[in-house]
Homo-oligomer: A and B are copies of this chain.
């Protein structure tokens, strides 16, 4: 159904897959030896291009493969019957998509490109077969899944106990850190998502997101111009996270 929307590109010509990929230090093959890297090149036989706004997969579709983001930016979201939506994550280069689908052999969320993107297709049955040969790959995959669980639990903390300002501060610092890991500036970046999507991720309404960003700007923590963010005072942002007035009052 999505075939006319997403180009599929065989990698026949350039056998470059993982061993030549500049994301190999961020992506699934982290820590593999050169030999092992060569082995898994054969795993990644195709890529898919997803245009902005199109979905890589949707809830209920049969699960067949994991996807590693090669370029671009995605969101994953789940929908309630009445239309309310929860964005469960934003994924950038080197991050895996599709782990939700393994359990039920159907995808459990929608993965939607927020800009024109490209992913490497990792057929899961093949991947599991490789695990038998490359123990390091198996182990690393388990780590990736485990870290996803820990990440999700961090989001629970965010949604469960933090106030709006703390959520936004945590969000901005997290983005900054992930951009940094990819070689971009820690202080300046463009948001790929709308205020509404940020709000949905953080359990806030878009107006609240807008207001808090404005407040951060007034306080000299950041500069906001539409989707462009400049972090002026990273330490100040971190303080928003750690310093709750009532806490310092009670214990200070």
Contact = CB atoms under 8 A, between A and B. Distances in A.
A161 B80 contact: yes
Interface string A69-93: 0000000001011111110100000
Contact of A152 (B104, B128, B144, B152): B152
Contacts of A153: 78, 86, 88, 100, 108-109, 152
B82 A144 contact: no
A176 interface: no
Interface residues of A, number: 48
Interface string A179-214: 000000000000000000000111100000000000
Interface of A is mostly: helix
A121 to B, nearest CB: 18
Interface string A123-137: 000001001100100
Nearest to A82: B247
A161 B149 CA distance: 20
12 contacts: A83-B247, A99-B146, A100-B150, A103-B143, A103-B145, A103-B149, A128-B142, A145-B145, A149-B152, A155-B156, A160-B200, A160-B202
